[in-house]
Structure 1
Amino acid sequence: MEKILLVDDDEGLLHFLSRFFQRKGYEVTACLNGRAAIEKINKESFDLILLDYKMPEFNGLDTLAEIKAVEVKTPVIIMTAYGTTDLTIETMKKGAYDYLVKPFDRKDLSRIVNDALAISRQMKEIVSFPDSTTVVPASMDRNSHQIIGNSKIMRDIYKLIGQIAEKDVSVLITGESGTGKELMARAIYHHSCRKDKPFIAINCAAIPETLFESELFGHERGAFTGAERTYIGKIERCDNGTLFLDEIGEMSPALQAKLLRVLQEGEIERLGGNRIIKVNVRVITATNKNLEKEVALGGFRKDLYWRLKVISIDIPPLRQRMGDAPDLVDYFLKKFSLEYNRPLCYLSGTALNKLTSYSWPGNVRELENCIRRAVLLSTGDVIAEGNLMIPDPKEEHVLQTLNREQLIERLKEKLEEIIPEILRLSKQNIHTNLIEVVEETLISKVLRECGNNQVQAARMLGISRNTLRHRLKKQLDKQEDDQET
Structure 2
Amino acid sequence: MAGKDGKILIVDDDEDILVAGKLLLKRHYGTVVTCNKPEHIEELMAAHDFDAILLDMNFGPGESSGDQGFFWLARILEIDPQAVVVMITAHGGVGVAVDAMKKGATDFIAKPWQNEKVVATLSASVKLRRSRSEAEELKKTNRTLVKAVSEPKQPILGASRAMQDVMSMVERSAPTDANVLILGENGTGKELIARELHSRSLRADKVFMSVDLGAVTESLFESELFGHKKGAFTDARDDRVGRLQAAHGGTLFLDEIGNLPLHLQAKLLTVLEQRKVTPVGSDRAFPIDVRVIAATNVPMGKLRDEDVFRQDLLFRLNTVEITLPPLRARADDIPEIADFYVAQYARKYGRSAKRFSPTALDAIKAYAWPGNVRALRHAIERAVILSEGDMFEPQDFQFDAQPNQAGDVATVKTEAPVNIAAPDADADLNLERLERRAIEEALKKHRYNISHAAKDLGLTRAALYRRMEKHGL
Q: Residue 74 of structure 1 aligns with which residue? A: 144
Residue 57 in structure 1 maps to residue 127 in structure 2? yes
Deviations 1:68-123 (A, max 9, x none): 66455235xxxxxxxxxxxxxxxxxxxxxxxxxxxxxxxxxxxxxxxxxxx66422
- The CA deviation at 1:327 is 1.2
Instruction: Measure the CA separation in 2 of the matches of 1:61 and 1:305.
Output: 46
Q: Residue 374 of structure 1 aligns with which residue? A: 383
Q: Residue 100 of structure 2 aligns with which residue? A: none
Q: Residue 243 of structure 1 aligns with which residue? A: 252
Residue 352 in structure 1 maps to residue 422 in structure 2? no
Q: 1:196 to 1:68 in 2, by over 3 A?
A: farther
Q: Residue 314 of structure 2 aligns with which residue? A: 305
Query: Which of the pair has more CA radius of gyration?
Result: 2
Instruction: Measure the CA separation in 2 of the matches of 1:380 and 1:396.
Output: 23
- The CA deviation at 1:274 is 0.7
Q: Which residue of the other structure, out of 321, 329, 345, is the alignment partner of 2:338?
A: 329
Gapped regions of structure 2 (runs ≥ 5): 6-48, 52-123, 402-410, 412-448, 467-473
Instruction: Measure the CA separation in 2 of the matches of 1:205 and 1:34.
Output: 52
Could you tell me which amino acid in structure 2 is paired with residue 122 of structure 1? V
Q: Residue 280 of structure 2 aligns with which residue? A: 271
Q: Residue 149 of structure 2 aligns with which residue? A: 122
1:185, 1:244 within 8 Å by CA — same for their partners in 2?
yes
Gapped regions of structure 1 (runs ≥ 5): 1-8, 12-32, 36-53, 76-118, 128-143, 402-409, 418-485
Instruction: Measure the CA separation in 1 of the matches of 2:380 and 2:312.
Output: 42
- Map residues 18-37 of structure 1 onto 2, 5 A cutoff: none
Q: Residue 223 of structure 1 aligns with which residue? A: 232
Residue 341 in structure 1 maps to residue 411 in structure 2? no
How many positions carry a matched residue from both structures?
A: 299
If the length of structure 2 is used for normalisation, what is the TM-score? 0.58
Instruction: Measure the CA separation in 1 of the matches of 2:303 and 2:166.
Output: 25
- Map residues 30-429 of structure 1 onto 2, 5 A cutoff: 56-58=126-128, 62-63=132-133, 65-67=135-137, 70=140, 73-75=143-145, 121-123=148-150, 125=151, 127=152, 145-379=154-388, 381-391=390-400, 393=411, 396=451
Instruction: Measure the CA separation in 1 of the matches of 2:300 and 2:346.
Output: 40
Instruction: Measure the CA separation in 1 of the matches of 2:50 and 2:162.
Output: 52
- The CA deviation at 1:259 is 1.8
2:147, 2:205 within 8 Å by CA — same for their partners in 1?
no
Q: 1:308 to 1:329 in 2, by over 3 A?
A: same
After superposing on structure 2, the runs of 4+ consecutive aligned residues of structure 1 that deviate more than 6 Å are: 398-401
1:34, 1:58 within 8 Å by CA — same for their partners in 2?
no
Q: Secondary structure at the match of 2:294?
A: strand
Instruction: Measure the CA separation in 2 of the matches of 1:366 and 1:387.
Output: 14
CA RMSD of aligned residues (A): 3.2
- The CA deviation at 1:66 is 2.4
Q: Secondary structure at the match of 1:285?
A: strand
Instruction: Measure the CA separation in 2 of the matches of 1:217 and 1:264.
Output: 14
1:370, 1:390 within 8 Å by CA — same for their partners in 2?
no
Instruction: Measure the CA separation in 2 of the matches of 1:299 and 1:59.
Output: 56
Instruction: Measure the CA separation in 2 of the matches of 1:396 and 1:379.
Output: 22
1:200, 1:234 within 8 Å by CA — same for their partners in 2?
yes
Q: 1:56 to 1:376 in 2, by over 3 A?
A: farther
Could you tell me which amino acid in structure 2 is paired with residue 370 of structure 1? A
1:72, 1:196 within 8 Å by CA — same for their partners in 2?
no
Q: 1:312 to 1:338 in 2, by over 3 A?
A: same
1:240, 1:281 within 8 Å by CA — same for their partners in 2?
yes
Q: Secondary structure at the match of 2:206?
A: coil
- The CA deviation at 1:385 is 1.9
Deviations 1:43-89 (A, max 9, x none): xxxxxxxxxxx9952467633552466455235xxxxxxxxxxxxxx
- The CA deviation at 1:326 is 1.1
Instruction: Measure the CA separation in 1 of the matches of 2:363 and 2:374.
Output: 17
